């Protein structure tokens, strides 16, 4: 019997065979002409995936947290004010990183599972003299998706830089970086972009680069400094060899394959597929009688779902679910950590992955002694897929 478990967590995710094959190729030099071509293509394709035709992509070895570090260290000078639209764990983390580089941070918070309203954010913006605001597109600790389009419009109205943590969103949630006026957006390879962990991916718009170029103080982080990376990105895109730090050759090959697959599907089709898969999965969770962390339907992410355990069931159910074929994630938000779990459904995920995951959840719940009608979750998801 096959013993492969579906990896249905909010990153890393299931990768396509073509992406994994690129990971296993014999590694070349980072200045081999074949690799320079691939890196150049990947940089150009990132612009298309972020929908930022005038943006400057950065591909740097590291995780999503490095991308947050890159944003903060390049855009913040000591004493700058920053507003964090906080919907959970990753908003808290962004605040700490900004403070590390000398920012004076104001958080606009909401109850767990909720998001600050546009009015809350507007009134906070009026009270300070902010250089930038950060928005977590999908906070992976709550599965809350923020209204990035309208929040970014508020940032534009106040003339400040808009930074979007899209680590659990880019290439899954709808995002039009340039049309929405976002100055810097970033993600990490292992989330909806569909490449194994190890790459921080950021796209800076013209205003973000201008703010960086107009700094009065040097960037205090050596590795993350755009002064080092901007010439490297420009060189590879111009198909010229260049060196600052050795790029992870195989990961960049894999990234380029994944970006090609994303663009072949098309961004609009990809957003629509994520929406449909999420609807089906959430219908199943509801049919099984489980609640969700986001307090209302218009706050739910399409890249992941955060269901509460039903009463009498705790996180030990996750081992049963895994045995039945799907690896899921436990809770992350410190206030509710033990009460819920998280299911990632992004990237190359398809309808049969979703049905298999729901089947495994039903098996686990039955093992845990939870009373429900077997097949109810599957039927609810199937009803959406058959529409």
Ligand X SMILES: *Cc1c(COP(=O)(O)O)cnc(C)c1O
Which residues of this chain interact with ligand X, rule CB under 6 A?
10-11, 63-65, 90, 136, 139-140, 165, 167-168, 188
Nearer to ligand X, 10 or 95 (CB): 10
Q: Which two tokens stand for residue 60?
A: 């740097």
Smallest gap from Cβ 70 to ligand X, in A, equals 12
DSSP 8-class letter at 225: -
Smallest gap from Cβ 196 to ligand X, in A, equals 11
Q: Which two tokens stand for residue 108?
A: 């606009």
> Rounded to whole angstroms, how far apart are CA atoms 81 and 161?
11
Smallest gap from Cβ 199 to ligand X, in A, equals 9
- The CA-based diameter of the chain, rounded to the nearest angstrom, is 64
Q: Are 343 and 307 in contact (CB under 8 A)?
A: yes
Nearer to ligand X, 80 or 92 (CB): 92
Q: Which two tokens stand for residue 78?
A: 């000591």
Smallest gap from Cβ 171 to ligand X, in A, equals 13
Smallest gap from Cβ 279 to ligand X, in A, equals 21
Burial level of 164, CB count in 10 A (0-12/13-18/19+)? buried
Smallest gap from Cβ 198 to ligand X, in A, equals 9
Smallest gap from Cβ 232 to ligand X, in A, equals 21
Q: Are 212 and 101 in contact (CB under 8 A)?
A: no
Nearer to ligand X, 41 or 140 (CB): 140
Residues with Cβ < 8 Å from 103, sequence gap 6 or more? 72, 76, 78, 80, 81, 82, 131
Per DSSP bridges, beta strands 81-85 and 132-136 are parallel
Using Cβ positions, the residue closest to ligand X within the complex turns out to be 64
- Report phi then psi at 115, rounded to 5: -130, 150
> Rounded to whole angstroms, how far apart are CA atoms 172 and 169?
5
Name the β-bridge partners of 106: 83
């Amino acid at each position: 019997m096959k013993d492969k478990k579906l990896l249905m967590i909010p990153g890393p995710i299931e990768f396509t065979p073509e992406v994994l094959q690129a990971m296993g190729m014999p590694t070349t030099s980072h200045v081999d002409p074949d690799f320079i071509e691939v890196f150049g293509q990947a940089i150009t394709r990132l612009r298309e995936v972020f929908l930022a035709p005038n943006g400057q992509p950065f591909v740097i070895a590291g995780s999503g947290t490095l991308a947050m570090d890159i944003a903060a260290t390049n855009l913040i000078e000591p004493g700058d004010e920053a507003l964090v639209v906080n919907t959970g764990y990753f908003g808290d983390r962004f605040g700490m990183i900004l403070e590390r580089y000398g920012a004076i941070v104001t958080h606009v918070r909401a109850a767990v599972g909720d998001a600050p309203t546009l009015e809350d954010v507007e009134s906070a913006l009026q009270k300070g003299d902010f250089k930038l605001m950060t928005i977590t597109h999908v906070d992976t600790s709550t599965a809350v998706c923020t209204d990035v389009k309208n929040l970014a419009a508020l940032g534009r109205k106040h003339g400040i830089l808009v930074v979007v943590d899209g680590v659990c969103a880019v290439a899954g949630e709808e995002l039009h970086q340039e049309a929405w006026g976002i100055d810097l957006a970033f993600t990490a390879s292992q989330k909806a972009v569909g490449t194994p962990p190890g790459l921080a991916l950021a796209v800076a718009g013209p205003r973000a680069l201008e703010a960086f170029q107009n700094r009065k103080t040097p960037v205090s982080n050596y590795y993350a400094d755009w002064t080092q990376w901007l010439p490297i990105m420009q060189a590879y895109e111009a198909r010229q060899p260049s060196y600052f730090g050795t790029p992870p050759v195989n990961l960049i090959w894999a990234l380029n394959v994944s970006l090609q697959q994303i663009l072949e599907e098309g961004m609009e089709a990809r957003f629509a597929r994520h929406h449909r898969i999420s609807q089906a999965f959430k219908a199943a969770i509801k049919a099984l009688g489980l609640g969700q962390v986001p307090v209302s339907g218009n706050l739910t992410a399409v890249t992941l779902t955060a269901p509460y355990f039903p009463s009498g069931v705790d996180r030990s159910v996750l081992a049963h679910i895994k045995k039945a074929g799907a690896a899921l994630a436990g809770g992350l938000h410190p206030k509710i950590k033990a009460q819920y779990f998280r299911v990632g459904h992004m990237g190359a995920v398809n309808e049969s992955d979703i049905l298999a995951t729901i089947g495994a959840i039903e098996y686990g719940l039955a093992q845990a002694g939870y009373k429900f009608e077997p097949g109810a979750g599957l039927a609810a998801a199937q009803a959406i897929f058959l529409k």
